Structure 1
Amino acid sequence: MLNNIQRTAKSLSNYLEPVIGLIAPDYRTSGIKTRIIGIREEGAGMFTLTLKPSSLASFSYQPGQHIPIQIEINGRVYQRTFSISSAWRQWKKSSTIEISIKRAPQGLVTNWIPNNLKKGHIVRIGEAQGSFVLSPKQRRQTNAFVACGSGLTPILSILESLSDAQLSSQHLLYSVSHEPEAPFKNRLQTLANKGLNLLILESSSQGRIKNDTLEAWLSEIQIESAYACGPSGLSQHIHDLFIERSQRLGHATPKF
Structure 2
Amino acid sequence: MMRDAVQFESADSRVTRPSFWNALPERWTSDAEETLVCCHVRQETHDVKSFFFRSPLGRAFVFEPGQFVTLELDIDGETINRCYTISSSPARPHTVSITVKRVPGGKVSNWLHDTMKPGTPVRMLGPAGEFTCARHPAHKYLFLSAGSGITPLMSMSRAHHDLAEDRDIVFMHSARTPDDIIFARELDLIASNHSNFRTAFVCERVGTRTNWPGVTGFLSLPLLKLVAPDFMEREVFTCGPAPYMQAVRSLLDEAGFDRRRYHEESFSFETLHAEPDAGAAVEAGVPAAGAPANAAQFNISFTRTAREISCGAGQNVLDAARQAGVRLAASCTQGMCGTCKVKLLSGQVEMKHNGGIRQREIDQGMVLLCCSKPLSDLVIDK
Q: Which has the higher contact order (CA 8 A, sep 6+)?
A: 1
Counterparts of 1:102-121 in structure 2, within 5 Å, are 102-121=101-120
Report if the CA contact (8 A) 1:34-1:54 is conserved.
yes
Report if the CA contact (8 A) 2:65-2:134 is conserved.
no
Q: Which residue of 1 aligns with 2:179?
A: 180
Report if the CA contact (8 A) 2:71-2:124 is conserved.
yes
Structure 2: distance between partners of 1:133 and 1:38 = 25
Q: Which residue of 1 aligns with 2:239?
A: 229
Distance change (3 Å), C-alpha of 1:204 and 1:41 = same
Distance change (3 Å), C-alpha of 1:139 and 1:166 = farther
The Cα shift of 1:236 comes to: 2.9
SS in 2 for 1:105: coil
Report if the CA contact (8 A) 2:62-2:90 is conserved.
no
Q: Which residue of 2 aligns with 1:65?
A: 67
The Cα shift of 1:56 comes to: 6.1
SS in 1 for 2:242: coil
Q: Which residue of 2 aligns with 1:255?
A: 261
Distance change (3 Å), C-alpha of 1:187 and 1:254 = farther
Residue-by-residue CA offset, 1:69-101 (whole Å, 9 max, x unaligned): 11112222211111100111211xxx1011000
Report if the CA contact (8 A) 1:45-1:103 is conserved.
yes
Q: Which residue of 2 aligns with 1:25?
A: none
Q: Which residue of 1 aligns with 2:279?
A: none
Structure 1: distance between partners of 2:66 and 2:254 = 27
Instruction: Report the count of equivalent residues.
Output: 220
Q: Which residue of 2 aligns with 1:201?
A: 202
Structure 1: distance between partners of 2:169 and 2:116 = 36
Report if the CA contact (8 A) 1:147-1:230 is conserved.
yes
Q: Which amino acid aligns with 1:60?
A: V
Structure 2: distance between partners of 1:55 and 1:63 = 23
CA RMSD, Structure 1 to Structure 2 (Å) = 2.4
Report if the CA contact (8 A) 1:170-1:196 is conserved.
yes
Structure 2: distance between partners of 1:198 and 1:96 = 26
Q: Which amino acid aligns with 1:230?
A: G
Report if the CA contact (8 A) 1:64-1:132 is conserved.
yes
Distance change (3 Å), C-alpha of 1:166 and 1:246 = farther
Structure number with larger C-alpha Rg: 2
Q: Which residue of 1 aligns with 2:82?
A: 80
The Cα shift of 1:240 comes to: 2.4
Q: Which residue of 2 aligns with 1:148?
A: 146
The Cα shift of 1:199 comes to: 0.4
Structure 1: distance between partners of 2:159 and 2:171 = 15
Residue-by-residue CA offset, 1:100-144 (whole Å, 9 max, x unaligned): 0011111011111121222111111001111101236x3432111
TM-score, normalised to structure 1, is 0.77
Q: Which residue of 1 aligns with 2:34?
A: 32
**Bigger Cα displacement from structure 2, 201-210 vs 49-58:** 49-58
The Cα shift of 1:187 comes to: 1.1
Counterparts of 1:41-56 in structure 2, within 5 Å, are 41-54=43-56
Structure 2: distance between partners of 1:230 and 1:152 = 7
Q: Which residue of 1 aligns with 2:225?
A: 215
Report if the CA contact (8 A) 1:44-1:182 is conserved.
no
Report if the CA contact (8 A) 1:39-1:114 is conserved.
no
Structure 2: distance between partners of 1:144 and 1:220 = 10
Structure 1 portions without partners, runs of 5+: 1-28
Structure 2 portions without partners, runs of 5+: 1-29, 207-215, 263-382
Structure 2: distance between partners of 1:254 and 1:167 = 24
Q: Which residue of 1 aligns with 2:277?
A: none
Structure 2: distance between partners of 1:254 and 1:214 = 19
SS in 2 for 1:238: helix
Q: Which residue of 2 aligns with 1:97?
A: 96
Q: Which amino acid aligns with 1:219?
A: P
The Cα shift of 1:40 comes to: 1.4
